Structure 1
Amino acid sequence: MGEKLFFFFMNLLILGMKQGNMLRTNNSKVSPRTFKGHSVPVQLPLPPNATETPPHSSSTAAALPELQLLSNDTAMYLRGGVSTRAVPALYIVAVVVGLPSNVAILALVGAKVRKVSSAILYCSLAVSDLLLLLSLTLKAQYHLAGNNWAFGEAACRLTTACFYGNLYCSAHTLACISAKRYLAVVHPFFYKSLPKRSCTSWASLAVWVIFSAAMAPELLVHQTYHIPQLGITTCHDVLPADQSIYDLLVYYNLGLTLLGFLLPLLVIMACYTSIVWHLNRSHRDWGLYIRASSLVMVIFLVCFGPSSCLHFLHYVLLYSSGNESFYAYFSVAACLCCLHSCLDPFLFVVMSRTAGSKLYFMSRKGKTLSIST
């Protein structure tokens, strides 16, 4: 199933690249993961001894670069109830539920880091979820204010990098947890021989280093633009389509989508499917473990599946024809990823019940091997 999905998305990418070669000459330049706009020249302030006073000199927005929206659909989304009511409502729910629960899990599991190898991954997941939830507090205020950013350019860049970077970190940490459980159940003798604390430590460190470096472009590119048509200042939602620096980010974000969303999705689906299939073949009663594994797999699929597919299709359309319509759908689907950050602590409680009882396997020499996942 995972291989079929992978080849399906790769065929879409190849088709988009072919169409892009034909349509590139007839379409305006595209911008990454956002709506598009045309740059408006910024009016520089006159010298102090000038007799004329530039318009809007007292306005903060006048100091920001301006963009002219290219589509009425963009204006409708930025002013609509989905982006100004539904999206922030889901963010607030995630923050209210997720912050205390992740702090509790971090305090509970942190004391076991030196004894239990899985605790390293769960602590890494809790920290990633907490950083994501903290970024949601600013994003919720931004959407409730009518998609008007009031915290400055530096805060916008940091919030955007924190939001996407920790989504990717959470997804890959969950993939590491699923791979660890897969090895424990499907390849128990190999798993028993591994230096588990060392492996989990290096895996967590690699995830953080890779995605911290991958977020560097989000910190370097200008993110806030004033939209005179709507009288608002957007953060990341609208970027210029007529500046070449943003063209390169299309390829960057397309690759990041494949690595950050689709890869862990396929890994988790493959691991838990294999776990459930092997335990079902066993003569022992693994009902609790099977139900817990199935629950984790389904929740991850529901939370990360829609955003992964829509994110990928958004970039295929953006590259091939400059169509930006999927960004609105992706922004809503990304809320499901954020809800996963407040579900992770409860999934930890479910999985810890199965990890509390050891798995027993019979070796070829007739000895019993016990493994705690």
Structure 2
Amino acid sequence: MGTLGDTRLLLCCAFWGLCLASDYDDYSQNSTNDQAATPEATPCPRAIPGDQATVNNVTYLLIPEATRAQLGSAVTVRLIPCLYSLVFLLGLPANALALWVLATRAERLTSTVFLMNLAAADLLLICVLPFKISYYFLGNHWPFGEALCRLSTALFYGNMYCSVLLLTCVSADRYLAVAHPFSSRAFRTPAFAAGACAAVWLCAAALTLPLALQRQSYPLLGAGLTLCHDVLPRHEDDGFYFRYFVALVSGAFLLPLLLLALSSGAVLRVLLRGGGRYCHAAKLTALVVVALVVFYVPSNVLLLLHYSSPCSKLHGRLYLGYMVSLALSACNSCADPFVYYYVSEDFREKVRRRIFRGSKKTTTSLKTSKETLPRSKHSLV
């Protein structure tokens, strides 16, 4: 009787072990088609999917060794933080100086209000980067706590899409100034621009609120690492976050990109009718659209591809490329000051006066690149 009981116990243990092995093989590289059928039915969560394990009342996540190796690769712990460091070193002084000059030396025009808010959005994005730089240089380890992980994730995405929306406002404002200079004068006021900027900030905050309300950091079992946003529980609100990111990309990127392209195209037509006088400004206007496409399209396309693809076929490979594209999108914060501010000769002159003769007050008002275009071939509309 004891032998029969032991046999039953061994059979139960063997069956339980096979069930566990089958669950792990769902995201293993050696999984079969039948085993992969279940995770293929739902999209991936907004990061690399991991299985939960509770040890001593602490929730850990498990991911395949191949995926863990990719997270610790040279691309993640060397290339990405180096890109963020470059953005921080170049973007911080460039945007801070531009905001300082716009706030203290610029005449309060509609374009000035939009450009000040754009510089502020770029600065807020750059201020988050030291935490991300430390995170990647530490080998994907987040030592700053859950609250700061949520805040930095929400600020990073929020300010990125806030910049896109503000760029669209700048482009639309320049279209009205060039194509309809007289009829648009009634509502192209600093007060109207301030209201539009407030709406953009509120919209960006609302769009990224779900990221701030959900847990973002989890420790990896047996790795001694706490990851922020990169690995999240498998099948946790998968459908909701897929729809959320589709709405985020559509409303905060694709639609603004379309509006920016249309308004910039209309501006280009007006400029090209003026002949060679505005050739330089026309090139810079085209550069605005090209820069937005180059910096933001890869990350948004990979975002949708990753979150709409079956988990069992990805294993974090596409997400690694997505992290690199996010670092590339942050580079736009370095490009904005030189495309929108320092391209103007008048702006550069005001910067020189502000730095070298800061105590000397002048009555000459600073015109932004949009306002000086009709007078200077070096200004951008």
**TM-score, length-normalised on structure 2?**
0.76
Return the alpha-carbon distance in structure 2 between the equivalents of residues 177 and 346 of structure 1. Answer: 15
Q: Would the aligned equivalents of 1:317 and 1:324 in 2 still touch at CA under 8 Å?
A: no
Displacement of 1:41 in angstroms is 1.9
Q: Would the aligned equivalents of 1:68 and 1:228 in 2 still touch at CA under 8 Å?
A: yes
Amino acid at match of 2:45: P
Aligned with residue 99 of structure 1, among 92, 97, 106: 92
Return the alpha-carbon distance in structure 1 between the equivalents of residues 189 and 37 of structure 2. Answer: 50
> Do residues 36 (structure 1) and 30 (structure 2) align?
no
Q: Would the aligned equivalents of 1:133 and 1:341 in 2 still touch at CA under 8 Å?
A: yes
Return the alpha-carbon distance in structure 1 between the equivalents of residues 288 and 210 of structure 2. Answer: 32
Return the alpha-carbon distance in structure 2 between the equivalents of residues 304 and 142 of structure 1. Answer: 23
Displacement of 1:217 in angstroms is 1.2
Q: Would the aligned equivalents of 2:45 and 2:234 in 1 still touch at CA under 8 Å?
A: no
Displacement of 1:269 in angstroms is 2.2
Amino acid at match of 1:174: L
> Do residues 314 (structure 1) and 306 (structure 2) align?
yes
Return the alpha-carbon distance in structure 1 between the equivalents of residues 37 and 266 of structure 2. Answer: 43
Asked which structure has the greater CA Rg, the reply is: 2
Return the alpha-carbon distance in structure 2 between the equivalents of residues 347 and 104 of structure 1. Answer: 14
Change (3 A) 1:182 1:340: same
Aligned with residue 291 of structure 1, among 283, 287, 291: 283
1:261 corresponds in structure 2 to 253
Return the alpha-carbon distance in structure 2 between the equivalents of residues 192 and 333 of structure 1. Answer: 40
Return the alpha-carbon distance in structure 1 between the equivalents of residues 373 and 225 of structure 2. Answer: 57
The Cα offsets for residues 238-283 of structure 1, whole Å up to 9 and x where unpaired, read as: 000143x454222112211212222222222222222223321334
The Cα offsets for residues 267-312 of structure 1, whole Å up to 9 and x where unpaired, read as: 2222222222332133462112112212222222211122222222
* SS in structure 1 of the partner of residue 309 of structure 2: helix
Q: What RMSD in Å do the two structures reach over aligned CA positions?
A: 2.6
Amino acid at match of 2:231: V
Q: Would the aligned equivalents of 1:38 and 1:241 in 2 still touch at CA under 8 Å?
A: yes
* Amino-acid identity (%): 33
Amino acid at match of 1:68: L
Displacement of 1:87 in angstroms is 0.3
* SS in structure 1 of the partner of residue 108 of structure 2: coil
**TM-score, length-normalised on structure 1?**
0.78
Aligned with residue 251 of structure 1, among 243, 256, 266: 243
Displacement of 1:230 in angstroms is 3.1
Change (3 A) 1:319 1:271: farther
Return the alpha-carbon distance in structure 2 between the equivalents of residues 177 and 73 of structure 1. Answer: 45
Q: How many residues are treated as equivalent by the alignment?
A: 319
Unaligned runs of 5+ in 1: 1-22, 45-62, 361-371
Unaligned runs of 5+ in 2: 1-35, 346-368
2:189 corresponds in structure 1 to 196
Q: Would the aligned equivalents of 1:105 and 1:345 in 2 still touch at CA under 8 Å?
A: yes
Return the alpha-carbon distance in structure 2 between the equivalents of residues 215 and 181 of structure 1. Answer: 28
Displacement of 1:218 in angstroms is 1.1
Return the alpha-carbon distance in structure 2 between the equivalents of residues 90 and 190 of structure 1. Answer: 45
Displacement of 1:92 in angstroms is 0.3
2:318 corresponds in structure 1 to 326
Aligned with residue 153 of structure 1, among 146, 149, 173: 146
* SS in structure 1 of the partner of residue 206 of structure 2: helix
